[in-house]
Structure 1
């Protein structure tokens, strides 16, 4: 008797291989479905919409100027001066899927950040939104102040405490409605100046403040703490709003956009509207940067996303705070020239150079 089977084993092997293949395919499909449904502990940033500060926006289904001068002459303009934004996908209450995160990792115009870095523990989504709203309001006020300063138009300014953050170093010391007159012995009239004095003071010793409360000047002290997030800085735990007495009324509408990074383009748009000779001609310009009342331009986040957003909107020039030059290294969407600036005056000068086709500053 033969110890070997006379039956050909190959059909059985082929059938087993087919079954294994189908099982592997089914398993892969199940894993893909699970990854699609499972939330990932990250948020995704991508280019957001852009808004022309010389154009119109929709408010309650009505088209209104983004920047409007009330009872003031406006000079005609042909340029586009576009505010760029970043759209964030996800928050601690609504995380993106793993599939979305993996796709974002391979997209040059997107970035992925751990949710705990984007939304530090102890700070709610609502707190983030409220802080962004106040930053936007301050940005608009400081942009108007910067534009008027650039045009040598006088105005008065002060700082008002909008909220002392619960559990922060100013809780029980500063109150809503306090007007901050001095910090570290120096008179302050804008948010940027106050932030710089707090940063210079550090967190090892208290900073002295003089506030106007109920008609009386009071002296208080607050020990700053380091903020949470990716770039910690000394803070005193208050939301402060700039209060200005301008000689003209300026209305700025930008819907639900928050944060301080539109300040530079707000200021440029206002200078263009108030200047008889056009500062931007018919240029298509976009950009981002904080603005101080004295015209200083500060760094912002999401510059890489914003450059791609500017390219999508057809911008030819992108104004970037010089401190953000490192963030755009190697990022060069076709047709967009990046111009670094330190001040509002630098930005105005750069636009004049671009109009006359002269050599422009570049990031080192």
Structure 2
């Protein structure tokens, strides 16, 4: 066999071997790509994303689209060929697997965490939106969760309203831990609560709860420090003056908070907040209306522009990475709070786009 033929055959076989190895060898990476966008003013799967009852609402127009990112699953392991293809692609980002799934989280754990964050973002969106409109919302400190096999198990329950701890009134979830840790591990703590069932019944009846109970809970030493714990997570619950339901399946995480809040504001105020224009965006939001950064901003920009967005509400902390990745035809608007976003949308509505807050790399 001629030497040239042997060389070509050897090279071909080597290439095939390399390709086979690339397909078979897993690498510790995951891929992010643009996900679907959903108009918070419209419907999803035939159901309104936002449904408000018990308060006057107004017609809306245009788009206030929340954006998403698709990611490979926690248990999926990319091969070398897929990773290289992702690095080359313009509409995908390959990142270390641990960036998306730290501490070896399983798919079930990640799904549960995302669901909890999504639920909390909806709650904060309601509070922030009504706060922006000057509509009061009452708040209370509650037991969010009780750890299994902890001293509090069977004594306190999720949904219990915490009125005081050791006789000291609590007004913030952080107050609970501060008071408990003043005890030496092993010493009991006294909680004054409104049981979850009584609190729920009172809220449904539109009245303040009239019953309370005193519960003594032992403490134990925390696994990581010499401090007392009872094994609960305290949180904040709100009583809204009317119903605001947010329905959106197959979405998780906290990053839709800002767009939900703006959708609520739009529906509760006369006139179209966007002036009929296509606006998309992202950002977490807290009860005070503060907007926080999110992950995967580059992919969300791509998804928004492909959906038809012309403006993108961008958390200020994301601007340095978002600005260089801005697709042609998309204008980024920097926001720190929901009030910033409302003011900027007023400029968009009036066509005063030259005065929009600049989202630049530096």
Out of 148, 156, 174, the position equivalent to 2:138 is 156
Quote the Cα distance in structure 2 between the aligned partners of 1:292 and 1:278: 24
SS at match of 2:14: helix
Match of 2:81 among 99, 104, 115: 99
| Distance in 1 separating the partners of 2:343 and 2:8 | 66
User: Which residue of the other structure, out of 45, 50, 53, is the alignment partner of 1:70?
Assistant: 53
Q: 1:298 to 1:212 in 2, by over 3 A?
A: farther
Q: Pick from 23, 38, 49 the counterpart of residue 51 of structure 1.
A: 38
User: How big is each residue's C-alpha offset from its partner over 1:243-277, in whole Å with a ceiling of 9 and x where there is no partner?
Assistant: 22111111111101001110000000011111112
SS at match of 2:327: coil
Partner of residue 299 from structure 2, selected from 302, 305, 309 = 305
1:179-198 residue pairs with structure 2 within 5 A? Answer: 179=161, 187-188=171-172
- 1:240 is displaced (CA, Å) by 6.2
Count how many residue pairs are aligned between Structure 1 and Structure 2. 324
Root-mean-square deviation (CA, aligned residues, Å) is 3.3
Deviations 1:132-154 (A, max 9, x none): 10111111111111111111112
Please, which of 354, 357, 361 is the counterpart of residue 357 of structure 2?
361
Gaps of 5+ in 1: 1-11, 226-235
Which consecutive residues of structure 2, in runs of 5 or more, have no partner in the other structure?
184-188, 196-211, 225-229
Q: Is the 8 A contact 1:138 1:242 kept in 2?
A: no
What's 2:270 paired with?
276
CA contact (8 A) 1:207 1:222 kept: no
What's the secondary structure of 1:81's corresponding residue? strand
Cα separation, 1, equivalents of 2:276 and 2:312: 15
Aligned-pair CA distance for 1:356: 1.4
Task: Provide the rounded CA distance (Å) in 1 between the counterparts of 2:192 and 2:89.
Answer: 49
Deviation by residue 1:142-188 (Cα, 9 ceiling, x = unmatched): 11111111111122123444435679xxx546854144568998622
TM-score of the two chains, using structure 2 as the length reference: 0.78
In 2, Cα distance between the equivalents of 1:255 and 1:47? Answer: 17
Contact kept? 1:40, 1:96, Cα under 8 Å: yes
Q: Distance in 2 between matches of 1:306 and 1:45?
A: 10
Match of 1:85 among 68, 75, 90: 68
CA distance in 1, matches of 2:334, 2:169: 34
By how many angstroms is 1:78 displaced?
Answer: 1.3
**Structure-1-length-normalised TM-score:** 0.78
Please state whether the residue corresponding to 2:103 is helix, strand or coil: coil
CA contact (8 A) 1:182 1:188 kept: no
- 1:282–1:296: structure 2 CA closer, same or farther, 3 Å change rule? same
